[in-house]
Amino acid sequence: MKTLDKTSLLTGALAGVTVVLLLLGASTQSILVGVLLVASAILPVLIAGLGWGNVAAMAAVLVAGLGLALISTPLDALSTVALMLAPAAWLSHVANLARPASELGGPEDTLAWYPLSDILIQIVVLVIVAVLINGAISGYNYDLTSLMVDQVVVAMKTQDPLYDLSSAAIDRMKSAVYIGSPMFFGAIWVMILFAGYYVANRIVQLSGKNLRPREDMPSTLRMHRYSIFAFLGGLVLVFMGGNFAMIGALICGTFGAGFVLAGFAVFHFRTRGKSWRLPVLWLGYLSVTFVFPAFFFLLSGLMDTRRAIALSPAGKTTETETKDL
């Protein structure tokens, strides 16, 4: 953690103001631009934390939270802080953690950085907690989703009088929406948080303010081997029904997104040096919106689980090597 100084506080405050402006701009733009602005609102906090330390990240969260509370409502501000800003600040904190490699059996005069696999697990857990907190704040429950589905069915019948669904079909739709919404939202937010971390990390590295050295993500971005058991536990909860099914679906969605990200890293690593690499990578990214390609990357992530630690010479942040645990 960097020392408390005016530069860190000012940088954090500026980052917090930027967050507020991005979220305000999102409300006045088209849906696509609005979504991009909301997703990019985590970048100022991540950049402040990764480049200027915990004080800057905390100042950014505090200023942004107070600003949002003034222009909207305290509940909306709390929801934004819980879902977006606090996870980003914590993520920047753990990414800057390092310890002497000799404490882990490594060489002297070398630093061991917080493993990328553990950072990915932190993202997954943060999203699970944030979604549950926001669900409690917003009053998300089966009755709410049931009302939403009923309104959609009424709207469809208004447009097409011949449109008709049986009561059993509507009940199945309500259950699917109740379980599927947290799973889908959690998976998307895991990917957004990781993408934000990646972009912020590159920006800070280019500016020369980075504490953590650049590492080879295709070879190190994997899920921890024990995360498989959490994923399987989520699957068990899905079959229990009710609130347990909703929580289980959320766990499956978030951990599944982590495995998909790891699968992409494996894909990048195994296509290195191939002449056809670039078009195949683009095809892979574009096809992930479909179920089968996404399952392929999920399976790749599940089959290659490990925990690698990035090592760098003490006092230098330009190069790393990795050590598997």
Report the C-alpha gap between 246 and 185 in whole angstroms.
Answer: 12
Domain ranges of the chain: 1-96
- 190 pLDDT above the threshold of 80: yes
- 69 pLDDT above the threshold of 50: yes
* pLDDT digit string, tens, across residues 201-230: 999 988 888 888 888 888 888 898 889 999
Contact by Cβ (8 Å): 288, 280: no
Report the C-alpha gap between 44 and 290 in whole angstroms.
Answer: 32
Contact by Cβ (8 Å): 12, 55: yes
Residue type, position 94, single letter: V
70 vs 169, more confident:
70
- 82 pLDDT above the threshold of 80: yes
Cα-based distances in Å from 280 to 264, 268, 277, 295, 296:
12, 10, 5, 17, 14
- 3 pLDDT above the threshold of 60: no
Q: What pLDDT band is residue 86 in, cutting at 50, 70 and 90?
A: very high
Minimal CA–CA distance to 61: which of 45, 83, 50, 38?
Answer: 45
Report the C-alpha gap between 36 and 242 in whole angstroms.
Answer: 33
Contacts of 115 (CB under 8 A, 6+ apart): 220, 307, 308, 309, 310, 325
pTM to 2 decimal places: 0.86
Minimal CA–CA distance to 185: which of 119, 240, 251, 264?
Answer: 251
Report the C-alpha gap between 151 and 261 in whole angstroms.
Answer: 36
* pLDDT digit string, tens, across residues 252-299: 999 999 999 999 898 888 888 788 888 888 887 777 777 677 888 888
